[in-house]
Structures are given as C-alpha cells and as structure tokens.
Amino acid sequence: MHGYRSTSYGDAFADVYDEWYPRVDDVDATVELVRSLAGSGGRVLELGVGTGRLALPIAAAGLTVTGVDVSAAMLARLAAADPTGMVTTVVGDMVDDLPDDEFDVVLVAYNTLFNLTADGAQQRCFDQVASRLAPDGSFVVEAFVPDEPFRTGTDVSLRSMTAERVVLSVSEHDGERQTAAGQFVELTERSGVRLRPWYIRYATVDQLDEMATAAGLRLAGRWADGRGTPFDAASERHVSVYGRAAPA
C-alpha cells in the first residue's frame, strides 16, 4: 500500500483498538497457555504488544513481561493502563529491536506476525526469536488460516453503523503475493472522515513451519485455539507452539 509505514496501523487504531477488538481471542486461555509454558515467574516477550490486552493479564498472573511495539501511540495506551509498570516496554519493531535477553516464552498473537510485510521479514523474526529463547523456551504464534486458493480482488462492506457513526471496510487482496490491504473509513457528522489503514502479508501453517525449521525450531504443538481444541483441515485459526529442534 503506497505510503503505508510500519507505524501506520498502531497510530491509526490506538484510540479505538480496545473498543473495536475486545474479544478477538480468549484472553484467559492465552494467559493460561503462556503461564503453563513459561513456568512460575517465567520471562515472557510479547511481539506487537499494543495496548497490553494480553501482556497486562499475563503480568498479573505472576510472569515477568516485556512488550515490543513499533507504535508509540499503542504503548502510550498501555502505559495509561499500567500505572505500576508491570510490563516493561520497548519502542521498536519485531525484527531489529528485540531486547538482548533470554525468554521462556515469546508470544505473537492475533495475526500480528503478518504485519511484517517486507520480503523475508517473517523469517528474520523467527531467527531473532530463536536466538532469544531459553533452552526449553517456546515461541507461540497465533494467526488465521488463509483460505485456499488465496483470495484476489477488492471488497467494500459495512463494518458497523450507529446513529452517530458509520464505518466502511475497503480492502484489496493479492493472492499471488499473499497480501491484503485495506482502510476502515469512519464517517461521523461531528468529525467528518477518519481513515484507519491496515496491511498484512499472510502465511500458511506449512510456510510458518518452514520458517521455524530454518530458524532451528520445531513444531511442538498446534491447536485451533488457546484451549487446546484439536486443529484440523476445517480450522479457521491456529495456535502453534515452536521449541528448539533436537540436535542432529
């Protein structure tokens, strides 16, 4: 998308993220999964931590949490919700700015990995995560399962409508590049037009497994959700857990 930057999504959605996406996944199940993998007092790194939707309850469960996000606007929302500083934050991207520490769990939730759209960026993310995992550490990836054949074309639809606000969704899909780009066009009588852009590059579970293997990781488990529902060909989402591969 012309003019789209790594900070575009966070800067555009920070003020409405918690309102628009309060139930995008099962927070309690995610917290329990991370807690079980990290162990008591374990160290957790969340990539694309955003407003702290997951990081704050993970920290409240007794884990030491660091969150990375490229959007200062998102991190400002997290800070406002975290007056005691339970979550340590880093302003930066998910590839070049990860802290040089060792973590028991690295978490990238709700399609956030797909925000890395440059060629090879998702592989580099896997590589950087692998270099920071504890010997028994886990990389938890949550994302949607792309429909195949991959979608190509454009779409305009209504996202929501009230007496005071209309939100339209405009999107463009490129199946060859496995990308999707869009705008939420928010119309209000008081404020006029507000554009909220997004852009992703998605990957299949097989492609993610290949990235993990190239980074020296192996698939340790995959489910359709954080509660351990079996994953199968009909699953629309997945929670995949990767760990270090056994020495050859």
pLDDT digits (tens, 9 = 90+) for 78-95: 999 999 999 999 999 999
- Res 171: pLDDT: 98
| Structure-token pair, residue 125 | 């993310």
- Res 245: pLDDT: 85
What is the Cα–Cα distance from 124 to 113, expressed in whole angstroms?
11
Computed from CA positions of residues 117, 157, 166, 187, in that sequence, does the dihedral angle turn out positive or negative?
A: positive
Mean pLDDT on 221-240:
97
Assign 227 a pLDDT band (cuts: 50, 70, 90): very high
pLDDT digits (tens, 9 = 90+) for 164-218: 999 999 999 999 999 999 999 999 999 999 999 999 999 999 999 999 999 999 9
Considering the chain, what is the average pLDDT of its residues? Answer: 96
Mean pLDDT on 238-245:
96
Q: Flag whether pLDDT at 248 surpasses 70.
A: no
Assign 246 a pLDDT band (cuts: 50, 70, 90): confident
Mean pLDDT on 27-36:
97
For tokens 């139930």, the residue is 23
What is the Cα–Cα distance from 170 to 182, expressed in whole angstroms?
5
Q: Where are the domains of the chain?
A: 8-145+204-244, 153-200
Mean pLDDT on 55-66:
98
Beta bridge partners of 91: 69
The CATH class that applies to domain 153-200 reads mainly beta
Q: What is the CATH number of domain 8-145+204-244?
A: 3.40.50.150
Q: What percent of the chain has pLDDT over 90?
A: 95
* CA dist list (Å): 86 to 55, 60, 169, 210: 9, 8, 36, 35
Assign 24 a pLDDT band (cuts: 50, 70, 90): confident
Assign 61 a pLDDT band (cuts: 50, 70, 90): very high
For the entire predicted model, the pTM comes to 0.96
What is the Cα–Cα distance from 89 to 98, expressed in whole angstroms?
11
Assign 22 a pLDDT band (cuts: 50, 70, 90): confident
What is the Cα–Cα distance from 44 to 31, expressed in whole angstroms?
11
